[in-house]
Homo-oligomer: A and B are copies of this chain.
């Protein structure tokens, strides 16, 4: 609230994040909190859920409400900037849309998420849809895996494995 945080005075503060640029391109009104959220998401290398984004945003500048994060994340999704993912467990996760088509392998022991893409799978998916009499308009592939027993899994990680991904 005082001078230390310096809300949004100098626009030359820091270079616009990738998402911020995309927002401007699309003519979205850029508020301080949108810029903040845009940065958090641009910098994210994982698949944060809304609360992750909220926490990281607070850590950077502190003055966003979770409602705004929800609204912004939805706005970005509607504008094709973000993609909403559903890995089960209630929370929605997000990642940049322009990272291209990819799927996920979830390490069931650590909760870590690995991205991958595969041509062969794309082709197979299309073939399967066709065989069933449909045009493929979307797909979702998730693999759940476990590292082959090298060391005994120390922490089965129950609630909220989130966080680290990639």
- CB of B148 within 8 A of CB of A134, answer yes
Report how far A91 CA is from B147 CA in the complex, Å.
31
Kindly list chain B residues whose C-beta atoms are within 8 Å of the C-beta of A134: 105, 107, 143, 145-148
Place the interface of chain A in its size category.
20 to 34
Supposing A118-B128, A124-B120 touch, asked if A143 and B138 sit within 8 A by C-beta, the answer is yes
Contact B132 A137 (CB under 8 A): no
Instruction: Kindly state whether residue A114 has any CB partner on chain B within 8 Å.
Output: yes
Contact B143 A136 (CB under 8 A): yes
Q: How far is the CB of A6 from chain B (nearest CB, A)?
A: 41
A106's nearest neighbour on chain B, judged by CB, is B138
Once the chains are docked, how many angstroms separate the CA of A135 from the CA of B146?
Answer: 5
A144 to chain B: which residues have CB within 8 Å?
136-140
- Nearest B residue to A150, CB-CB: B133
Partner of A143, one of B88, B120, B128, B143: B128
Q: Which of A141, A146, A148 has the most CB of B within 10 A?
A: A141
Residues from chain B with Cβ under 8 Å of A136 in the complex: 143-145
Q: Other than A132-B145, A137-B144, give 8 A-B pairs with Cβ distance below 8 A.
A: A114-B132, A129-B145, A134-B146, A134-B147, A139-B142, A139-B143, A139-B144, A140-B142
